[in-house]
Structure 1
Amino acid sequence: MEPRTGKRAGSGRPKPSLSPRLIVETCLALMDAEGADALTFRRVGAQLGADPAALSRHFRDRDDLLLAVADHLLGEGLEGFEPSDGWRQTLRTLFIRMHKVHLSHPRATVLATVRVTRRPAEMRVIELTLTALSDAGFPPEQAVRHYRALVDFLLARSCMDAAHCTLDAHTRRGDESAWSGEYAAVPAETHPQIAAAAPYLASVDDDADFDFALDLMLDAIAARAPGKD
């Protein structure tokens, strides 16, 4: 990533025009390429051609930068999003978008999904989710409990899927092939249910599995909703 530059400094070298967004985007690109070790002021500053101390004008420390990266991921998922007419479709679309964004940046996701960002994108996700649950008829206390169940599922599943993506290729292939290898070879005499299900265990698609699990949660919420639509 080439640094954006402003006026030239006295040394004749380009002077980076730093902004919080540029710093976060640079950090995210570095994490995509190099992992968590790239989340340092020194590494990001070097990529931007800037003194690491200049980053501290926008972010207090590494943790502050991580929270900004986490919120940026949520912001990516919100780009172009508009609520649907029905609360269920609003939540389904929103959570599928968030899961896809997290998997597009797996190395950042394994750090970001366990944090509370306290920032605008996260606040909008919370507001959208609580609004949908309110539209379903839940009063605030119940809406919050259902919100936490949904979001915890999204973040836990996104973190698990992202962690799998960060495995080295050999390990990942070994885990994926186990369903058509070792599990397909389990004898029916000792594990009859696994043997009967073996052809299907190997055919589960991760994206479709996430959608299926999300629908199960939304089915349960719809069954509990005071105002079903």
Structure 2
Amino acid sequence: MAGRRRWSTEEILDAAAELLRTDDPDSFSVRKLAAVLGTDSSSLYRHFRSKTELLRAVADRVLLAAMDGYRPEGDWKQRITSLALRMREAFGQHPQLASVWGRHASGGTGSRLAMEEVLQALRASGLPEEEIPVRYHRIAVLIVALIASEAGFGTVAPTEHEHGMELFRVAVLGADPERFPALAHFARDVRPLGEDRRAAFEEILAAQLAHIETAVRPG
């Protein structure tokens, strides 16, 4: 009787990424993945010690894809913005993994490459060395939060999205002007959270970078 096939780490990650395209990360399990591969969970635990470690590795591959071909160009703000947009685009293609990344982070090669570039860019800004770690942390929290939040919209089914938009229109356009005077006044101009998110992403990030720029000492 032939033994079960031995799956490589990369093949396991490929299968996990494919499963996560249709499976919610909360319901994802090593047992489900093992069933897809036609093996048992114990064989996968030889590669990854836990479900969390596996999910981190899958998310890190998205970061590796974002970093593939990246070359630092422009000043320090342009470098960080370009990198952030590449990460946004990469996770936009894998929205389920964005929530995994936002929850569990990643210590893999992709993560370290992104961290290195942001830290190098902040060094180039002229910030005092002692301020760079804190400023890096603020940028990282902002980028992760924005990408993970946006990914939630990417996993909503079209019918569910349209239903949500209808509820938004009813709630906003029908706001009682006595109880919600400001909302009633701006109702026709207030946009749903899911609209124009790239512009919002860039503006929020730009504001954070401008704030950092004020801390750069002259000369």
Q: Which has the higher contact order (CA 8 A, sep 6+)?
A: 2
In the TM superposition, what are the counterparts of 1:63-212 in structure 2 within 5 Å?
63-202=52-191, 204-212=195-203
Please state whether the residue corresponding to 1:53 is helix, strand or coil: helix
Check if 1:50 corresponds to 2:43: no
Greater Cα offset, 101-110 or 78-87 = 101-110
Correspondence for 1:36: 25
CA deviation after TM superposition for structure 1 residue 218, in Å: 1.9
Contact conserved, 1:42 with 1:52, CA < 8 A, in 2?
yes
Question: Number of aligned pairs?
Answer: 217
Query: Using a 3 Å threshold, how does the CA distance of structure 1 residues 144 and 118 change in structure 2: closer, same or farther?
Result: same
Using the alignment, how far apart are the partners of 1:46 and 1:145 within structure 2? 44
Using the alignment, how far apart are the partners of 1:21 and 1:29 within structure 2? 12
Q: What whole-Å deviation, never above 9, does each CA across 1:35-70 have from its counterpart, x for those lacking one?
A: 225633322223223343222221112122122122
Correspondence for 2:216: 225
Check if 1:22 corresponds to 2:11: yes
CA deviation after TM superposition for structure 1 residue 90, in Å: 0.6
Contact conserved, 2:56 with 2:100, CA < 8 A, in 1?
no
Contact conserved, 1:69 with 1:112, CA < 8 A, in 2?
no
Greater Cα offset, 200-209 or 82-91 = 200-209
Unaligned runs of at least 5 residues, structure 1: 1-9
CA deviation after TM superposition for structure 1 residue 113, in Å: 1.1
Contact conserved, 2:52 with 2:104, CA < 8 A, in 1?
no
Please state whether the residue corresponding to 1:36 is helix, strand or coil: coil
Query: Using a 3 Å threshold, how does the CA distance of structure 1 residues 35 and 190 change in structure 2: closer, same or farther?
Result: closer
CA deviation after TM superposition for structure 1 residue 132, in Å: 0.4
Using the alignment, how far apart are the partners of 1:102 and 1:220 within structure 2? 26
Using the alignment, how far apart are the partners of 2:143 and 2:153 within structure 1? 15
Contact conserved, 1:179 with 1:198, CA < 8 A, in 2?
no
Query: Using a 3 Å threshold, how does the CA distance of structure 1 residues 177 and 150 change in structure 2: closer, same or farther?
Result: farther
Please state whether the residue corresponding to 2:48 is helix, strand or coil: coil
Report the TM-score when normalising by structure 2. 0.85
CA deviation after TM superposition for structure 1 residue 188, in Å: 4.5
CA deviation after TM superposition for structure 1 residue 87, in Å: 0.7
CA RMSD of aligned residues (A): 2.5
Q: What whole-Å deviation, never above 9, does each CA across 1:173-205 have from its counterpart, x for those lacking one?
A: 333344443212335555443334333323741
Report the TM-score when normalising by structure 1. 0.81
Contact conserved, 2:60 with 2:109, CA < 8 A, in 1?
yes
Using the alignment, how far apart are the partners of 1:34 and 1:126 within structure 2? 29
